[in-house]
């Protein structure tokens, strides 16, 4: 239940506030850094691409509008925002209950053992969202400034199976969560 509430919290933070603030920096080791906005090169280097497929055929793809990785010290989570410019039709939010690079599987069993929660909404699906039954987040780089990696997941939209989502993200700016910056 904790991971579901974290996913809801992350969704509210990113959608209600228009995305996470890029004015905060946070160290993955847990030590606070001097608050400063990411440099122009760091922001320009951030890239995230998301592909939606059905039975191997690409239905849609988009580049994330303002991708970032929010670290939450209190809950020890990373929230990845890989949403497009229209979050009602292009939203991919991933929350993992860790703050380090690594591979995090998603088995879709909802038994509380997964450390990964995924919320995906896209306008090309027959239902508003995709229910994932399998997936994997691979965070290949996590520093106090950047987060890079991949996500692959499969699932169903309503009663239709065979959907998959692939995301590749690199050099996302790392920011502290809004809750951390209020302290």
pLDDT tens, position by position, 103-122: 999 987 667 677 888 989 88
Q: In which band, very low, low, confident or very high, does the pLDDT at 141 lie, cut at 50, 70 and 90?
A: very high
Distance CA 172, CA 146 (A): 5
For β-strands 102-106 and 131-142, DSSP reports them as antiparallel
Asked whether residue 38 is domain-assigned, the answer is no
Q: In which band, very low, low, confident or very high, does the pLDDT at 183 lie, cut at 50, 70 and 90?
A: low
Asked whether residue 150 is domain-assigned, the answer is yes
Asked whether residue 78 is domain-assigned, the answer is yes
Q: What is the pTM of this model?
A: 0.75
Asked whether residue 34 is domain-assigned, the answer is no
Asked whether residue 40 is domain-assigned, the answer is no
25 vs 2, residue with greater confidence: 2
Considering only the C-alpha atoms of the chain, give the largest distance between any 2 of them, rounded to a whole number of Å: 49
Asked whether residue 32 is domain-assigned, the answer is no
Asked whether residue 137 is domain-assigned, the answer is yes
The predicted structure's pLDDT at residue 105: 93
Work out whether the CA dihedral 78, 85, 169, 1 comes out positive or negative: positive
Closest CA to 94 of 114, 111, 123: 114
Mention every residue, 6+ apart, whose C-beta is less than 8 A from residue 47.
63, 64, 67, 169, 170, 171
The predicted structure's pLDDT at residue 179: 60
Q: What percent of the chain has pLDDT over 90?
A: 48
Number of folded domains that form the chain: 1
What is the overall mean pLDDT for the chain?
A: 77
Closest CA to 75 of 101, 95, 102, 104: 95
Residue 9: pLDDT over 50: no
When pLDDT is averaged across residues 131-147 and rounded to a whole number, the result is: 93
Domain that holds residue 59: 2-25+45-181
């Amino acid at each position: 239940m904790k991971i579901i509430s974290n996913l809801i919290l992350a969704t509210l933070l990113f959608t209600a506030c228009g995305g996470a603030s890029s004015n905060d920096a946070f160290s993955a080791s847990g030590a606070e850094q001097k608050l400063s906005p990411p440099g122009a090169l760091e922001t320009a280097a951030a890239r995230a691409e998301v592909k939606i497929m059905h039975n191997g055929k690409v239905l849609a793809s988009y580049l994330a509008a303002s991708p970032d990785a929010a670290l939450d010290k209190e809950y020890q989570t990373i929230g990845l925002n890989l949403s497009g410019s229209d979050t009602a039709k292009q939203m991919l939010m991933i929350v993992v209950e860790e703050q380090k690079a690594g591979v995090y599987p998603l088995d879709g069993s909802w038994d509380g053992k997964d450390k990964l929660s995924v919320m995906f909404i896209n306008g090309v699906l027959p239902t508003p969202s995709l229910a994932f039954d399998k997936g994997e987040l691979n965070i290949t780089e996590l520093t106090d400034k950047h987060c890079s990696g991949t996500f692959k997941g499969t699932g169903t939209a309503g009663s239709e199976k065979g959907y998959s989502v692939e995301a590749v993200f690199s050099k996302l700016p790392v920011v502290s969560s809004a809750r951390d910056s209020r302290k």
